[in-house]
Amino acid sequence: MSSSAPYSTAPGNETSSKSERAYAAIKEKILGGEYNPGYRLVLAKLADDLGFSVVPVREAIRRLEAENFVTFERNVGATVAGIDPTEYLYTMQTLSIVEGAATALSAPLITASDIARARAVNAAMRECLAHFDPISFTALNLEFHSVLFENCPNPHILDLVHRGWNRLQALRSSTFNYVPGRASESVAEHEALLQLLESGAGADDVERAARAHRAATLDAYLARSAPEEPAHAPLTPSY
Residue range 141-189, pLDDT digits in tens: 999 999 999 999 999 999 999 999 988 876 765 667 667 788 999 999 9
pLDDT at 238: 31
pLDDT at 14: 63
- The average confidence (pLDDT) of the chain is 85
Question: Which residues are CB-neighbours of 148 under 8 A, at least 6 positions away?
Answer: 103, 106, 110, 114, 118, 193, 197, 210
pLDDT at 67: 82
Torsion of CA 45, 80, 99, 109, to 10 degrees: 0
CA distances from 59 to 35, 56, 102 (A): 18, 5, 36
Determine the Cα–Cα distance for residues 167 and 37; give it in Å rounded to an integer.
Answer: 16
The tens-digit pLDDT sequence of the chain (239 residues) is 444 443 333 445 666 788 999 999 998 888 767 787 788 999 999 999 999 999 999 999 999 998 888 988 888 899 988 777 888 899 999 999 999 999 999 999 999 999 999 999 999 999 999 988 887 888 899 999 999 999 999 999 999 999 999 888 767 656 676 677 889 999 999 999 999 999 999 999 999 999 999 999 889 888 876 654 444 444 443 32
Packing angle between helix 134-149 and helix 112-128, nearest 10 degrees? 170
CA distances from 175 to 24, 179, 198, 225, 226 (A): 23, 6, 28, 11, 14
Return the percentage of the chain with pLDDT > 90, whole number. 56
pLDDT at 104: 97
Q: Are 147 and 91 in contact (CB under 8 A)?
A: no
pLDDT at 15: 61
